[in-house]
Amino acid sequence: MDWTTFIEIGKSLVVSLEIFFLTILFSMPLGMIVAFGRMSKNKIVSSLTSFYISIMRGTPLMLQLLVVYFGPYYLFKIRLSPDYRFIAVIIAFSLNYAAYFAEIYRSGLQSLPKGQEEAAKVLGYSKTQTFFHILLPQLIKQVLPAITNEIITLVKDTSLAFVIAVAEMFTVAKQLAAAQATIIPLMIAGLYYYIFNLVVSYVMDQIEKHYSYYRT
């Protein structure tokens, strides 16, 4: 085996990175919206978001990928271009991870002292100012360990994109392993995943240290 295998798998890592970063970009803010919906005093909104979270957490991500990709055709007879494969991956991943992030945010928000909101109101802070200047920094510190676990899981879950034939890193590694009749490409992919996770863990650790001044 030469360095070509490393290079080919390395190129496919770009697709895995795109899935990872786009999922983070869309799922984290969506998760906050869902968390507020889950905590809403409006029973309809709360019930709908609870049902959404239940579906996303209670069914396999692999099944959700298939539904998002094949659903438009089988339900509405809409024919989509091959480019939709990657879009379907981002939609499914974002919807799935938003549900997990929503529950993490919700638990973090509910653990914050209620007196802080009342004190901020007395001081003349609006609800928006209270959230962004007082609650959000504490929330970030509170939920970082759980968020880190989900992000690390996301690194490995990017391999599920193979279900709808998106050529991310693990898919390419399997193709090379079959062509070369050796598991070496799979081992190389495993090494890339490990390095990927080390970088993610380091970055999240630095963020956690940045917010360490909120530690009591």
Q: What are the sequence ranges of the domains in the chain?
A: 3-214
Closest CA to 37 of 46, 29, 26, 25: 46
Which 3 state secondary structure label does DSSP give 157? helix
pLDDT interval class at 215 (50, 70, 90): low
Q: CB count, 10 Å around CB of 35?
A: 25
Q: What is the pLDDT of residues 68-126, one digit of tens each?
A: 999 888 888 888 887 899 999 999 999 999 999 999 999 988 887 777 777 777 677 77
**Please, are residues 158 and 24 in contact by the beta-carbon 8 Å criterion?**
no
Rg (CA), the chain: 21
Burial class (CB in 10 A: 0-12, 13-18, 19+), 172: buried
Contact partners, residue 55, CB within 8 Å, separation at least 6: 99
- pLDDT level of residue 213 (50, 70, 90 thresholds): low
Superfamily of domain 3-214: MetI-like (1.10.3720.10)
DSSP letter for 82, please. T
Mean pLDDT across the stretch 182-191?
90
Cβ-contact 44, 33 below 8 angstroms: no
* Structure token pair of residue 111: 């653990």
pLDDT tens-digit readout, 116-147: 777 777 677 777 777 777 777 778 888 888 99
Share of the chain above pLDDT 90, in %: 50
Question: Cα dist. 85→25, 89, 93 in Å?
Answer: 19, 6, 12
**What pTM was estimated for this model as a whole?**
0.88
| Burial class of 115 by CB neighbour count within 10 A (0 to 12, 13 to 18, 19+) | exposed
158 vs 92: CA distance, rounded Å:
11
| The two three-digit tokens of residue 211, written as one number | 């917010």
